[in-house]
C-alpha cells in the first residue's frame, strides 16, 4: 500500500470517528404527553445537551434544570454510556426520553400577605416575634396580649390582666418570658407556653409604660432583668424572678419615651426633654447626649437584632445549658459588632 493511500485511509477513519452516531428520540413529559416531534440526536448526547434541547422545545424563557429517564433509569452521563451499552436498546430503536423538572428555589421579595390574624377587639399597638421565630405576640387596646403560633398561623393564648391599653411587649432573650407594659401603669410577665401570668404584677410607675428592654443574654444568662420606661419620667429595672424593683433612675425632666439595653451593659434612655442619657447597669449616670431641638421619640442600637434573639440563630439550635446559651449569645454579639463599637440612632420631632 502506497503512503498516499495509507494517509487517505487514516483520514477516512478519523472522519468516521468524529461523526457521532444518531438515534431517534421522542421527548415525553412525566405525565406521558409527547413534547415536540421525533428528533434525531447524537447517541452520545449528555444530560446538559438534552437539557438545552428540551428547553428549546418547550420555549422556556429561562434555562430550567431537568432530569432525563429512559425506561425508568436516569441518564447521568450520556445516552450511550448509561443505557445502550447495557444492551437494552440499539441505535436503530426509537427511544422515549422522559423529562422531569428539577426543584428550583429562588429568593424573592415578599409580595403577598401569608395570613391575617384576627381576634383583637381594638387597635393593635405593639407586636413582637419570639427570639426563636416560632411565636408572635401582640398587644392591643382591648387590654389583652395574644400569643400566636407562627407554624400554623393560629391563636394560641389570650393573656388577660391589664385594665387598660397594652402599649408595649417584649420577649426575654431566652424566649421563656413575655413582658407587657400598659396604660394601667403596670408591667406584667407571661409564660408563652401556657399564656398564664407569672407571679404578681410589677407596679411602681405613676404613669403609663412607654417601652421595655431586657438585659442581653450574654451579660445575664438568667435573663431576669427588665427595664421599663414611663411617661412619669423614670426608668425602673426589675428582677423578674423576685418580682421586685432593683433600682429606679429619674434624671430626665420629662416623659421617657424609649429605653435600650446595649451589649456592653449600658442603658440608653430618650426623653421629651430633648436628651438621651447613658446609665451603667447599676443606674448611675454616665453621660447626657444633647443636640435634638425637640422630643426624642425613639432609639435603636446597631446590634439590636442579636441582642433581642440571644443564642437563637438560623440553625434553630436550642441550648438547655444556660452557660452554653450565654456563650453562643456572646459569639453572635461579637460577630455582629466586630472590631467596631455599637452605634446608636435616635429619632426626634425636630
The DSSP line for 73-103 is EE-SSBHHHHTGGGTS--TTSEEEEEEEEPP
Structural domain span for residue 56: 22-101
Residue 7 falls inside a structural domain: no
Residues 41 and 167 in one domain: no
Which DSSP helix (H) or strand (E) runs through 325? helix 322-337
Annotate 294-318 with DSSP letters as a single string. S-EEEEEETTHHHHHHTT--TT---
Are 96 and 145 in a shared domain?
A: no
Quote the pLDDT of residue 89: 60
CA–CA distance, 190 with 202 (Å, rounded to integer): 12
Q: Return phi, psi of residue 145, to 5°.
A: -110, 130
Is residue 15 in a domain? no
Identify whether the C-beta of residue 151 lies closer than 8 Å to the C-beta of residue 178.
no
Same domain, 178 and 246: yes
φ/ψ of residue 33, rounded to 5: -90, 130
Q: What is the CATH number for 233?
A: 2.130.10.10
For residue 216, tell me if it sits in a domain.
Answer: yes
The string of pLDDT tens digits covering residues 252-299 is: 999 999 999 999 999 999 999 999 999 999 999 999 999 999 999 999
Contacts of 35 (CB under 8 A, 6+ apart): 27, 28, 29, 54, 57, 58, 99
Closest C-alpha to 40, from 93, 101, 77, 100:
93
Q: If DSSP codes are grouped into helix, strand and coil, which group holds residue 53?
A: helix
- Rounded CA gap, 278 and 270, in Å? 9
Query: Is residue 115, in this structure, part of any structural domain at all?
Result: no
Note whether 92 and 135 are same-domain residues: no
**pLDDT above 70 as % of the chain:** 89
Residue finishing a domain among 65, 86, 101: 101
Burial (CB < 10 A; 0-12, 13-18, 19+), residue 170, is: buried
DSSP string, 202-231: B---SS-EEEEEEPPTTT-TT--EEEEEET
At 332 the three-state DSSP class reads helix
**234 and 92 in one domain?**
no
Question: Does the residue 148 lie in any domain?
Answer: yes
Cα dist from 159 to 143, 175, 329, whole Å:
9, 17, 29
Q: Is residue 3 part of a domain?
A: no
What pLDDT does 14 receive? 47
Q: How many domains does the chain have?
A: 2
Residue 232 inside a domain? The answer is yes
Q: Return the number of other C-beta atoms located less than 10 Å from residue 50's C-beta.
A: 21
Look at residue 247 and give its three-state secondary structure. Answer: strand
Q: What percentage of the chain exceeds 90 in pLDDT? A: 60
96, pLDDT greater than 80: yes
| CATH code (residue 91) | 3.10.20.90
Residues 138 and 196 in one domain: yes
Q: Is the pLDDT of residue 114 over 60?
A: yes
Task: Report which of residues 340 and 86 the model is more confident about.
Answer: 340
How are beta strands 94-101 and 66-70 bridged, if at all? Answer: antiparallel
Same-domain status, 194 and 306:
yes
Nearest CA to 170 out of 243, 227, 208 is that of: 227
Q: Are residues 173 and 62 in the same domain?
A: no
Q: 101, 132, 160: which is the final residue of a domain? A: 101
pLDDT of residue 91: 56
Flag whether 4 is in a domain.
Answer: no
- In this prediction, residue 285 carries a pLDDT of 95
85 and 139 in a single domain? The answer is no
Statement to judge: residues 81 and 160 lie in one domain: no
Is 184 found in the same domain as 58? Answer: no
Lowest pLDDT segment from 23-27, 102-106, 224-228:
102-106
C-alpha neighbours within 13 Å on the C-beta side of residue 103: 1
In sequence order, which residues have a C-beta less than 8 Å from that of residue 207 and are 6 or more positions away?
185, 230, 231, 232, 255
192 and 319 part of one domain? yes
Q: What is the mean pLDDT of the chain?
A: 88
How confident is the model at residue 107, as a pLDDT? 61
- Could you say which of 38, 69, 101 is where a domain stops? 101
pLDDT at 208 over 60: yes
pLDDT single digits (tens) 294-327? 999 999 999 989 899 898 887 878 888 889 989 9
Amino acid at each position: 500500500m502506497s503512503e498516499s493511500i495509507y494517509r487517505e485511509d487514516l483520514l477516512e477513519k478519523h472522519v468516521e470517528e468524529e461523526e457521532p452516531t444518531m438515534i431517534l428520540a421522542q421527548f415525553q413529559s412525566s405525565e406521558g404527553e409527547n413534547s415536540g416531534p421525533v428528533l434525531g440526536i447524537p447517541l452520545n448526547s449528555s444530560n446538559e445537551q438534552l437539557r438545552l434541547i428540551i428547553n428549546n422545545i418547550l420555549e422556556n424563557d429561562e434555562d430550567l434544570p431537568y432530569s432525563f429517564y429512559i425506561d425508568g433509569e436516569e441518564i447521568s452521563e450520556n445516552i450511550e454510556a448509561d443505557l445502550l451499552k447495557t444492551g437494552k436498546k440499539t441505535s436503530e430503536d426509537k427511544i422515549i426520553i422522559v423529562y422531569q423538572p428539577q426543584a428550583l428555589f429562588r429568593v424573592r421579595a415578599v409580595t403577598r400577605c401569608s395570613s391575617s390574624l384576627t381576634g383583637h377587639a381594638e387597635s393593635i399597638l405593639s407586636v413582637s416575634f419570639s427570639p426563636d421565630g416560632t411565636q408572635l405576640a401582640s398587644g392591643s387596646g382591648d387590654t389583652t396580649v395574644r400569643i400566636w403560633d407562627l407554624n400554623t398561623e393560629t391563636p394560641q393564648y389570650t393573656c388577660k390582666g391589664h385594665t387598660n391599653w397594652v402599649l408595649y411587649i417584649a420577649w426575654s432573650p431566652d424566649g421563656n418570658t413575655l413582658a407587657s407594659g400598659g396604660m394601667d401603669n403596670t408591667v406584667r410577665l407571661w409564660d408563652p407556653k401556657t399564656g398564664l401570668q407569672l407571679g404578681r404584677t410589677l407596679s411602681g410607675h405613676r404613669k403609663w409604660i412607654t417601652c421595655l428592654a431586657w438585659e442581653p443574654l450574654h451579660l445575664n444568662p438568667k435573663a431576669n432583668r427588665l427595664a421599663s420606661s414611663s411617661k412619669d419620667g423614670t426608668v425602673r429595672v426589675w428582677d423578674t424572678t423576685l418580682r421586685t424593683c432593683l433600682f429606679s433612675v429619674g434624671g430626665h425632666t420629662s416623659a421617657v419615651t424609649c429605653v435600650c439595653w446595649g451589649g456592653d451593659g449600658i442603658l440608653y434612655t430618650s426623653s421629651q426633654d430633648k436628651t438621651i442619657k447613658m446609665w451603667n447597669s447599676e443606674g448611675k449616670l454616665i453621660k447626657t447626649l444633647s443636640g435634638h431641638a425637640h422630643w426624642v421619640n425613639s432609639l435603636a442600637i446597631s446590634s439590636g437584632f442579636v441582642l433581642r434573639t440571644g443564642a437563637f440563630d438560623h440553625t434553630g439550635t436550642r441550648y438547655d445549658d444556660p452557660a452554653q446559651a450565654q456563650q453562643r449569645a456572646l459569639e453572635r454579639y461579637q460577630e455582629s459588632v466586630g472590631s467596631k463599637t455599637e452605634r446608636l440612632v435616635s429619632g426626634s420631632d425636630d
